[in-house]
Chains A and B, each alone.
Chain A
Amino acid sequence: MDGYAELRDYAVIGDGRSVALIARDGSVDWLAWPDLDSPTLFAAVLDRAHGGRFLLRPRVPYTAARRYLPGTNVLETTFTTAGGTVRLTDALSLHDAASLAPGRELVRRIEGLAGSVPMRWSVQPRFGYGARTPHLARRAGVPVATCGPDAVGVCAWNAGQPQCTADAITGQFRTDTGTHALIAVPYAHQEPLVLPTRAECEARLEHTTATWRKWTQERTYTGPWREAVLRSALALKLLVFAPSGAVAAAATCSLPESIGGERNWDYRFSWIRDSAFTLDAFLKLGCAPEATGYFWWLMHASQLTHPRLHVLYRLDGGARAPERALPLPGYRGSAPVRVGNAAADQLQLDTYGEMLQTAWLYTTAGHRLDADIARRLAETADFICAIWQQPDAGIWEVRSDPEHFTQSKMMCWITLDRALDLARQQLIPGRHAARWRRERLAIADFVDDRCFSPRLNSYVRYADSGDLDASLLLGLLHGYRPPDDPRMRGTLAAIQQTLQDGPFVNRYLGSDGVPGSEGAFLACSFWLAEALARCGRADEAGRLMDQLVALASDVGLYSEEIEPATGTFLGNLPQGLSHLALISAACAIGQATR
């Protein structure tokens, strides 16, 4: 088409620190090293011409089929040509304690399965989001690209003689039945580059496959849509930043919410908004270390800004995320390409409810809260008592004027409700419980007086408005009202009538201060399925879930949004919230049908 792959055609691999996007044509079009939120080495998904990539594919026409090796985040692409078949296995290798390993490493194994296939490859490293062209040289016979504190090597075995051109390292070779080739890209940041041997790379690839498989086998989920749930768990695990325990919202930045539009955001941060779903998913999947690590990170990260919460925090726990535009054309001309996220400084009242809900879930799993955290949670409840009457930007981070968003108020109610329950269990200090109780009642009065439309028989997007918002479903999912509450049932019906289109659900239809439109928000579809299940409509929920599971890419991944008419993926990927919502919905439907 225009040189850009469909977003649906990207599979992801990762190692718990960084993530790479690989297109169906074998091109690694996104890779940020050393960390998930670092500037990129490959960013062809945002700039086909100059972003940098690692291309590896047959030199003749082919068809490609892909899958993950079962239970792993190791990708297998099979190219079939008129002359033969070749299998490509891709992984970001996991550390193998037995050998001295590079700081980071991309491994690509090429196996001839049948016949003879001419292959070509090209590594075009572009550090710093394509801004910095590296210096290419040979070290110990290995082509190495260096740029400031960063260096990558290209180690090729049976993959042709690497050639250094002005800005790329390239090679050509031919596979025959039974032949094996291997290309490894070791990386170093602020340290000498480790050049691995072929045997070490092969061993690490096996170790990586076995490690992922073992991790998946330890998951405890036995409910419906098991394949989809486990793939979502694996996708979610790729977003866990292992050095800190933070969970990124997505692995990429500025993949557009509408092609050619300007709704392009950096999602390589951890959103408080997602915290309750994240912890809940970890607990339901039997990921106790991830759950504890995430909760500890959450409490550490939010300490500096306490009692105020930022909307998002960096993966290293920092609170600053200044937004700027990069001089890149963007995916299919979708500019600006933004890094950083200005939403960090917004007031979003729902985040406080998410944090208390997260802490509450953490304690229901049998964990205790230490005195410092307990005190801070109680102070958070006090803080909400003081600020809940303020308008905010809402869960969707609108850039229009602040409003009294209903879902925000509902989550303020959740803040105080969970605080009261934690205090009742003597897990947090309850000295101000009477005030919490009083303000909780005041919030409920506000929501039921100002945020409910008798005409629509539904809660509305914000106070005194006539619009709907799919985030109102979260009021039901988090327990603002029980599922049999007439107003909640009315809201569910109104959302289905107004925002649902087949399996797709729009977030809202009103304005949000940003020009342009967007696709259907996938998490909202899963929320709807879960809400239906909780309201006793499990069959309907199951049918919707079947449709949603079928919308995944060929390797089981979801982006943030989908264009309903074409099924085109939109937004950053893999999108943690989409996969979290899938896990939560599958568990709820499974429970409802049990």
Chain B
Amino acid sequence: MSIWAALAGGFIGTLVLTTALRAANALNLTRIDLPFLLGTAFTSDRTRAKALGYGVHFVNGLLFAMLYYAVFVAVGYSSWWLGTVFGLVHGLFAATALVNILLPLVHPRMGAPHTSAPHVALLEPPGFLMLNYGPRTPTVTLAAHLVYGTIVGLFLAWPG
């Protein structure tokens, strides 16, 4: 268990999570696009936003992996299944608080329940469990985060 393992796990985990969400997007299962949501916080140029958002999302993925690492060190134990549990908590946090409540508060282009005339949102608010982006969004997001957590847990539990 090391910081490098956490960073490697975070990188691979984020890669898989982002790809999984993108695949779900392409299959019309959900309209959520986390890199796009993050990137548009900085620019209204859609193409630049997606590129920028991918970068921000990977940084977030690495930071969350470091958080996993810190907790694993604190409890003195690491395993893939504990990573899965963390992924579950992480996914629920993302769906209920991070993207649903916190992001609209700081995102200059995202609508919120209190957005009113004359302003107009460029991005619709995610809604509870991000259901505004499609009824399958919570399931897809949670599954992607479970995979992320499992991957980070695997890297941190890797002997060596």
Contacts and interface: CB of A to CB of B under 8 A. Distances in A.
Given A305-B28, A306-B28, A16 B47 contact: no
A243 B115 CA distance: 5
Contacts of B116: 15-17, 94-95, 242
A300 B31 contact: yes
B125 interface: yes
Contacts of B117: 14-17, 73, 94, 211-212, 215, 237-238, 240, 242
B138 to A, nearest CB: 14
Contacts of B112: 243
Contacts of B115: 16-17, 242-243
Contacts of B73: none
A346 interface: no
A328 to B, nearest CB: 27
Interface string B20-48: 00000100101100000000000011110
Per DSSP, chain B at the interface is: loop
Nearest to A316: B132
Contacts of B160: none
Contact of B114 (A103, A237, A238, A246): A103
A365 B117 CA distance: 23
Contacts of A237: 117-118
Contacts of A372: 50
B120 interface: yes
B114 A370 contact: no
Interface residues of A, number: 42
A371 B47 contact: yes
A516 interface: no
B127 interface: yes
Contacts of B114: 95, 103
B28 A244 contact: no
Contacts of B133: 317
Given A370-B47, A371-B47, A296 B132 contact: no
Given A238-B117, A242-B117, A293-B122, 19 more contacts: A15-B116, A16-B117, A17-B113, A34-B113, A94-B116, A103-B114, A211-B118, A215-B117, A237-B118, A242-B120, A244-B121, A244-B132, A289-B120, A292-B44, A303-B28, A304-B31, A317-B133, A370-B50, A372-B50
28 contacts: A15-B116, A16-B118, A17-B117, A94-B118, A95-B116, A211-B118, A214-B118, A237-B118, A240-B117, A242-B116, A242-B117, A242-B120, A243-B113, A243-B121, A243-B125, A244-B125, A245-B120, A245-B122, A304-B31, A316-B124, A316-B127, A317-B124, A317-B133, A368-B45, A368-B46, A368-B47, A370-B46, A373-B46
Interface of B: 25, 28, 30-31, 44-47, 50, 111-125, 127, 132-134
